[in-house]
Amino acid sequence: MTTTLEHLTPVGADPAGGGLHRRLNFFTALIFGGLSAFIAWALSHHFLNSDGSGFSDQVTVLASIGWVLGFELGIGALTPIGRWIIGKDQVRDDELYLAGKNMGVRRHWKYCTDHKVVGVQYIVVTAILLGAGGILAMGIRTNLMTPGLHFVNQQVYNSFLSVHGMVMILALIVAVAGPWANFVVPIMVGARDMAFPRLNALSLWTLVAAIPLLLGSLAIGGLDMGWVTQAPISEQTGVGFDLFAMAIVTFTISTTVAGINTICTVMTMRTKGMNLERLPIFVWASVVAAALGLYAFPFFLVVMSLNLADRMVGTSFFVASQGGTGWLQENLFWLMGHPEVYVILIPAVGALMEITTVFARKPLFSYRTALGSMVSLAGLSALVWAHHMFTTGWAPSLGGPFMVTTEMISIPTGLMFLVILGTLWRGNIWMRLPMYWVFGFLFNFIIGGVTGIYLSDIPVDNQMHGTMFVVAHFHYVFVGSVLFGAIGALCFWYPKVTGRFLDERLGKLSFWLVFVGVQVTFLSMFVSGLRGMSRRYSSYEMIFEHTNLISTMGAYTIMAGMLVLLGAVITSWTGGEPSGPNPWKSKTLEWLVPTPVPLENFEVLPVITSDPYTYGEAQ
């Protein structure tokens, strides 16, 4: 498959610069990135006015830009752009090279356009982000095991919680969409690759470039603004914030490109007969989430840029004494922040719906309801943002309207439950590993969803906002629901990627550890919040010590479970029980191609005559 128009008579073509360019990989990217960062740092240090109050911020931001550009150059992600500009488009040989033909495992360390390789790379990136965020979570919970700052001091604790939040948010945005919208969706629609394979690789490596910035912010330290970077504290806080913000700016570029790619793939590359109502529900989930992300993430880009501008060049967007206002920051942030949690949730729900059909051996219950609930959830999510601001004192007269829109969101959410329960109804429930996570999700999401409705009620929010009740609520959704969906998706599609089953015993052990750990950690956390413990507290009063100790024990249980899962993923990759191409006897297209999946997916493109949910129906 080609994406160039000049395939018949390649004009000005010659093999892709041979030599140096074909040697580029992750390590050259690190070197180039580091070098550029250093050069940018040194130059800006030398030429910028060091008396200015924004000097260290300017230097840090410029060094970050140097890092990202150098990294992208060093991995070869900017080469296609350069080649377009000078009119040297890629030829078939380049295409195959970039797709990693005959390259073996090492293609995973390179800029590789094969969507399946990108999918595997996203699995690794997700694991790294979850691991880093998880370590920070253990730092937080260890400190909160007892009152009194016995583990770390306030500064370190505040930095831990700020970075933990952001790392985990990034991890969850990509946890399902990254690996599976890339690996699986093109095959599911009957395509040979994504719409824009080179952009696909670009979006992955851009995300990788963002990670050292985000984790580096912790090293430079001084972050005490939480992941929501509220102004004015985010303007006061240490230089680590500039790396934090640049990581986000870099991330928004990655996710915008990825979202456009997903939508174009599904809308324009479906094989013959794959009309919109025959698409697997996971494909729709990926499209809806991508579209919602396209709406939400520009706000993130803008708010971070304005915050950086205030720090670097003395603008006054969020500075009250000069005419600005922190409320602007909060509005812009939550205009992004609320749709974003549905960008996170919808792919996970889509994957779980897919799993349920296979393991109940039944069609998806009410396909249109499933689709409609996702679309209306996405649409409504753009109208609820100020429920995060009920107690800020901003626009009290808007409290009522936002309460209405927020409570209304519970209706499409409830319909998603109907779809999954209806799919389970009278099915032959096959309790293999992926199915465990579906039931865990159902149990947890009710709690997470209902407690969200509590918070949407202003009189309750007046009591609960800013307490551990909120933290427990969103952890039930993020960990208990989204993460369960992500792990379920991993267990489900693992045989397609590796040709082996994920070890069922270890997988079930990790499930029980994580599931029980979630209940212990976060139910106890609800109690902490109900009793009056504020959030983002590095220490607390004695009355909260028992519930905090229990939460910490639960957190360690979750950690144990996740480590068991990691062990299972690693050992089963090459040592697991062989599965064959379609161990779950699923009907979606990805299971009908061989494992490992051939480079261009299909020998001949299939012609589709029905949707993939024909269980129990005459073929």
Partner 1 sequence: MTNQNDNKKHHRDIFIVWALLTVIGVLVGLYATPWLMPKSASHTMSMGILTMVIFTVAAAPVAALVYAVCLYALTIWRHRGEGVPADGPAIRGNGPATVLWLVGSTVLTLFLLIWGLGLLGSDQSAGAKASIEAANGGSAEITVDVTAQQWLWSFSYPGTHVKSLDLYLPVNKDVEFNVTSKDVVHGFWIVQMGIKVNANPGVITTTSVTPDKIGTYTIRCTEICGLDHAFMMTKVHVVSEADFQKWLASQPTRI
Partner 2 sequence: MTVTDNHTEHQDHSGAHHEAPEVVDGRQRLAIWLFIGGDFVSMGALMFTYLYLRGVNTTNGWMRIVGMPTQGRTLATLEAGDYTPITNIESKLSTSLNWEIVLALVVSAAILWIGERQLRAARTNDRSFPFYAILASAAATVAIWLQLEQLQKVPQYFVSSNDSSVLMHTTYGSAMMALGTSAIIHAVILILLGIGLTIRSARGVISHDRWFQVRLVRFFWVWVAVSSVILGGMTTLFVGH
* Cβ neighbours for 91, distance < 8 A, ≥ 6 positions apart: 10, 13, 15
Q: Which stretch binds partner 1 (CB under 8 A): 197-205, 247-255, 400-408, 487-495?
A: 400-408
Task: Between 271 and 392, name the residue whose CB sits nearer to partner 1.
Answer: 392
Minimum distance, C-beta of residue 210 to partner 2, in the bound complex (Å): 18
Distance of CA 371 to the CA centre of its chain: 21
SS3 467: strand
Rounded distance between C-alpha atoms, residue 242 and residue 313, angstroms: 13
**Considering the rule CB under 8 A, would residue 295 count as an interface residue with partner 2?**
yes
Task: Between 35 and 294, name the residue whose CB sits nearer to partner 2.
Answer: 294
**Considering the rule CB under 8 A, would residue 428 count as an interface residue with partner 2?**
no
Contact 357, 364 (CB under 8 A): yes
Smallest CA-to-CA distance from 268 within 190, 363, 345 is with: 190
Q: What are phi and psi of 129, to 5 degrees?
A: -65, -45
Rounded distance between C-alpha atoms, residue 83 and residue 594, angstroms: 35
Minimum distance, C-beta of residue 233 to partner 1, in the bound complex (Å): 4
Minimum distance, C-beta of residue 1 to partner 2, in the bound complex (Å): 5
Minimum distance, C-beta of residue 375 to partner 1, in the bound complex (Å): 15
Minimum distance, C-beta of residue 302 to partner 2, in the bound complex (Å): 4
Binders in 44-83 for partner 2, by CB under 8 A = 49, 51-54
Among 206, 254, 481, 538, binds partner 1 (CB under 8 A): 538
Among 19, 47, 85, 542, binds partner 2 (CB under 8 A): 85
Q: Which stretch binds partner 1 (CB under 8 A): 11-19, 32-40, 172-180, 458-466?
A: 458-466
Minimum distance, C-beta of residue 87 to partner 1, in the bound complex (Å): 53
Q: What residue type is 526 in one-letter code?
A: F
Among 259, 363, 427, 517, binds partner 2 (CB under 8 A): 259
Minimum distance, C-beta of residue 56 to partner 1, in the bound complex (Å): 18
Smallest CA-to-CA distance from 140 within 521, 563, 469, 473 is with: 521
Rounded distance between C-alpha atoms, residue 219 and residue 339, angstroms: 30
Binders in 518-537 for partner 1, by CB under 8 A = 527, 530-532, 534-537
DSSP per residue, 255-320: HHHHHHHHHHHHHH-PPTT--GGGS-HHHHHHHHHHHHHHHHHHHHHHHHHHHHHHHHH---TT-G
**Considering the rule CB under 8 A, would residue 208 count as an interface residue with partner 2?**
no
Rounded distance between C-alpha atoms, residue 347 and residue 411, angstroms: 18
Minimum distance, C-beta of residue 456 to partner 1, in the bound complex (Å): 8
Minimum distance, C-beta of residue 295 to partner 2, in the bound complex (Å): 6
Q: Count residues binding partner 1 (CB under 8 A).
A: 91
* Cβ neighbours for 81, distance < 8 A, ≥ 6 positions apart: none
* Cβ neighbours for 62, distance < 8 A, ≥ 6 positions apart: 40, 41, 43, 44
Report the 10 Å Cβ neighbour count for 197.
24
Minimum distance, C-beta of residue 309 to partner 2, in the bound complex (Å): 7
**Considering the rule CB under 8 A, would residue 616 count as an interface residue with partner 1?**
yes
H or E element: which one contains 327? helix 326-360
Among 1, 219, 543, 570, binds partner 2 (CB under 8 A): 1
Binders in 7-26 for partner 2, by CB under 8 A = 7-8, 11-12
How many residues does this entry show for the chain?
Answer: 619
What sign does the dihedral 459-462-468-472 (CA atoms) show? positive
Binders in 554-593 for partner 1, by CB under 8 A = 584-585
Report the 10 Å Cβ neighbour count for 102.
9
Minimum distance, C-beta of residue 95 to partner 1, in the bound complex (Å): 39
Contact 587, 612 (CB under 8 A): yes
Binders in 86-105 for partner 2, by CB under 8 A = 86-87, 89, 92, 95
Among 208, 283, 389, 608, binds partner 2 (CB under 8 A): 608
Q: Which stretch binds partner 1 (CB under 8 A): 30-38, 175-183, 452-460, 552-560?
A: 452-460
Range list of H helices, 24-177: 26-47, 55-75, 79-85, 92-98, 115-143, 154-175
Rounded distance between C-alpha atoms, residue 481 and residue 448, angstroms: 8
Task: Between 119 and 324, name the residue whose CB sits nearer to partner 2.
Answer: 324
Rounded distance between C-alpha atoms, residue 524 and residue 145, angstroms: 12
Minimum distance, C-beta of residue 97 to partner 1, in the bound complex (Å): 40
Binders in 150-179 for partner 1, by CB under 8 A = 154-155, 158
Report the 10 Å Cβ neighbour count for 436.
23
- Tell me the Cα Rg of the chain: 24
Q: Which stretch binds partner 1 (CB under 8 A): 75-83, 399-407, 481-489, 515-523?
A: 399-407
Binders in 304-363 for partner 2, by CB under 8 A = 305-306, 309-310, 313-317, 319-325, 327-328, 331-332, 335
**Considering the rule CB under 8 A, would residue 275 count as an interface residue with partner 2?**
no
Look at residue 138 and give the partner it binds from partner 2, partner 1, none, a contact being a CB closer than 5 to 8 Å depending on partner kind.
none
Among 285, 343, 378, 403, binds partner 1 (CB under 8 A): 403
Look at residue 395 and give the partner it binds from partner 1, partner 2, none, a contact being a CB closer than 5 to 8 Å depending on partner kind.
partner 1
Binders in 508-567 for partner 2, by CB under 8 A = none
**Considering the rule CB under 8 A, would residue 508 count as an interface residue with partner 1?**
no
Rounded distance between C-alpha atoms, residue 360 and residue 388, angstroms: 38
Task: Between 196 and 227, name the residue whose CB sits nearer to partner 2.
Answer: 196
Among 89, 114, 193, 224, binds partner 1 (CB under 8 A): 224
**Considering the rule CB under 8 A, would residue 392 count as an interface residue with partner 2?**
no
**Considering the rule CB under 8 A, would residue 479 count as an interface residue with partner 1?**
no
**Considering the rule CB under 8 A, would residue 391 count as an interface residue with partner 1?**
yes
Task: Between 65 and 429, name the residue whose CB sits nearer to partner 1.
Answer: 429
DSSP per residue, 387-427: GGGTTTTS-GGGHHHHHHHHHHTHHHHHHHHHHHHHHHTT-
